[in-house]
A and B are shown apart, each in its own frame.
Chain A
């Protein structure tokens, strides 16, 4: 499987703190996306970073990509209780010859008010 791996599997922080989640993958990628899933709901796209980018920002989100280490990180600054959710990275692999978005196992974030 080319599935990515997030760590930690679970993260619990106080409101106002920053949350960092990491994703590692196995083969070369075209791009990497991060998704969020609230309990019992479908996934929602957060941010995309392309293989030629190293860092990207969107509001309180900061994503980095290190293709040499095959890893990415998602930073949520000044967390809120509403950020409580599971977060997944997803990759499209270059040269795969098929149209597949592969998801990691996710990090479950709990933000305590």
Chain B
């Protein structure tokens, strides 16, 4: 049971380049989310999804795009990378959005360290 898998682990981009951070879970979780972690800022929610075909914005959605075509996958797209997007990105999932509200824990991937030059 792999849990939440993120790829790649490390990535260096030039300003203006695009890329997709991959996230997959094998726990049949309906709820998936993306966070970014910056020094001194904790984790901030970028986007989340409560099921296939349904996505919503979090606290810091600008510059990022998501879609959810399957239950298993929730990719995060950077269309035109900027140095301000240098960060560590975490994908996390749980059973459902409603279970999250009731206190169900999030399961985290191991993160993607992204540098934009």
- Chain A positions near chain B (C-beta within 8 angstroms): 1, 3, 9, 30-31, 33, 35, 40-45, 48, 50, 88, 90, 92, 98-106
Residue pair B111, A42 in contact (C-beta under 8 Å) = yes
Residue pair B35, A103 in contact (C-beta under 8 Å) = yes
Q: Please tell me the number of chain B residues within 8 Å of chain A, measured between CB atoms.
A: 30
Cβ contacts under 8 Å, B109 to chain A: 42
- Chain B positions near chain A (C-beta within 8 angstroms): 4, 31, 33, 35, 40-45, 48, 50, 56, 58-59, 90, 92, 97-98, 100-103, 105-111
The answer for the CA separation of A41 and B4 in the assembled complex, in Å, is 12
21 contacts between A and B (CB under 8 A): A1-B59, A30-B103, A33-B103, A40-B111, A42-B92, A42-B108, A42-B109, A42-B111, A43-B92, A45-B107, A92-B100, A98-B56, A99-B98, A100-B48, A101-B106, A103-B42, A103-B44, A104-B42, A105-B40, A105-B41, A105-B42
Contact status of A101 and B45, CB under 8 A, knowing A1-B59, A31-B103, A50-B103: yes
